[in-house]
Amino acid sequence: MERKKVLLIKLSSLGDVIFNIPLAYALKDAGYEVSWLVSEKGYDIIKNNPCVDKAILAPIFSWRKRGFSIRNIVEFWSLIRQLRAEKYDISIDAQMMFKSLFFNMLCGARRRITSKKAKEFAVLGANELVEGISYSPNCSIVLNYLKFAEYLGINTAEIKTSLPNRTKEVVLKINELLKDIDLSKPTVIVAPATTWENKHWDIENWKMVVNKLSESASIVFSGGEKDEELVEKINNKRFLNLAGKTNLMELIELFSRADVVISPDSGSAHLAWALNKPAVITIFTCTPEKVLAPIGDEGKYIAVSGELSCRPCFKKKCKLRNDKNLCTKLPEPEEVVEVANKIFSNKK
């Protein structure tokens, strides 16, 4: 019997793409042939990922960089023709925004689904609207996306994640970078950088955590080229600093070697969770841990945050006049150290 074909439309940031991997798995395990339309930021983690049968690139950022151009129009319609040729039975617009509207509208699927509360007129691209899929400060975003599968009658009790396998060259490079690490102790990867100013945790807090954990663990820093200055302010040339030295696939392989990854709410935390291997300690300042924290084993995926009446505000910039960015000082570093040590003890 020929499998029904479904197109999952989720274009945006690394974290948002990772949050939809369990949805892709639920669809695939239910017997659908799953294609995923994804932009440049998430393409590498969807291409060759076991959660899908086919990854299709929508070069959104290239189009945006060029601005209005004939080339963009030609490429857009070429992509639409490619999608229509697949003859999808169902499309799911999990982006739920203007930039996904036309892909959903024009992809040719008989059933075009999105949330009834989709933003920026995205409802116009669908012919079926699902109730109950919207932001809630008390619901995991992963569970929210899985409601699309539940709408199709799919059991979502099991939450599965995965990332693509790494090449031999990637494995060998990480072997070389970690060759001097003391493997007799737990390996802790510290990924302190994120995109919003007030999602960053206080540098002095990071220093205290790293100093304390270095007594019982091997410390490795990770990050992109733009994060090198931040990392070195924390590190001060004491521990292995790999910021700027790994691409995405190499970063994934690096995280696979960790016992614990410590990060603010960021793509790094979500990547580490999707691997199913390291424990993840996620530090939340202004964003809601009930929505964005890695879910699953509560002894392995742990969110820490401070208690403030203003948090989680979920704002890119603090709106307070007094106590501005106070949330970035919390939680106390001792709490993070205590959580890490508990994880170490459980691994023994």
**Mean pLDDT of the 242-257 span:** 97
**Residue 195: band (very low, low, confident or very high) from pLDDT cuts 50, 70, 90:** confident
The reported pLDDT for the residue numbered 226 is: 93
The reported pLDDT for the residue numbered 228 is: 93
- Rounded percentage of the chain residues whose pLDDT exceeds 70: 99
DSSP 8-state class, residue 35: E
- Residue 151 CB-half CA count within 13 A: 22
Kindly state the greatest CA–CA separation across the chain. Answer: 64
Q: When comparing pLDDT for 324 and 296, which is higher?
A: 296
Range list of H helices, the chain? 14-19, 21-29, 40-46, 60-66, 70-85, 98-106, 141-151, 168-177, 203-213, 228-235, 248-256, 267-275, 289-292, 333-347
1: how many CB neighbours lie within 10 A of its CB?
4
The reported pLDDT for the residue numbered 114 is: 97
What is the rounded CA–CA span in Å between residue 251 and residue 320? 36
The reported pLDDT for the residue numbered 3 is: 86
And the tokens for 286?
Answer: 């202004």
Domains and CATH numbers, the chain: 5-151 (3.40.50.2000), 168-347 (3.40.50.2000)
The reported pLDDT for the residue numbered 323 is: 81
The reported pLDDT for the residue numbered 348 is: 64
**Mean pLDDT of the 300-304 span:** 97
**Mean pLDDT of the 87-96 span:** 97
The reported pLDDT for the residue numbered 101 is: 96
**Mean pLDDT of the 324-345 span:** 94
The reported pLDDT for the residue numbered 132 is: 85
Residue range 34-82, pLDDT digits in tens: 999 999 999 999 999 999 999 999 999 999 999 889 999 999 999 999 9
Hey, what's the torsion of the CAs at 142, 57, 267, 125, to 10 degrees?
-40
Residue range 257-285, pLDDT digits in tens: 999 999 999 999 999 999 999 999 999 99
The reported pLDDT for the residue numbered 278 is: 97
What is the rounded CA–CA span in Å between residue 155 and residue 259? 31
**Residue 324: band (very low, low, confident or very high) from pLDDT cuts 50, 70, 90:** confident
DSSP 8-state class, residue 294: -
**Residue 1: band (very low, low, confident or very high) from pLDDT cuts 50, 70, 90:** low
Q: Which three-class secondary structure state does DSSP give residue 281?
A: strand
**Mean pLDDT of the 108-118 span:** 96
pLDDT for residue 87 is more than 60 = yes
pLDDT for residue 336 is more than 60 = yes
Residue range 141-171, pLDDT digits in tens: 999 999 999 999 999 999 999 999 999 999 9
**Residue 136: band (very low, low, confident or very high) from pLDDT cuts 50, 70, 90:** confident
Concatenated DSSP letters for 106-169? HS--SEEEEETT-STTGGGG-SEEETT-S--TTS-HHHHHHHHHHHTT----S-----PPPPHH
Strands 111-115 and 90-93: parallel
What is the rounded CA–CA span in Å between residue 27 and residue 108? 19
pLDDT for residue 340 is more than 90 = yes
The reported pLDDT for the residue numbered 24 is: 98
Concatenated DSSP letters for 275-307? HTSSEEEEEESSS-HHHHS--S-TTTEEEEE--
Hey, what's the torsion of the CAs at 190, 140, 19, 243, to 10 degrees?
-10
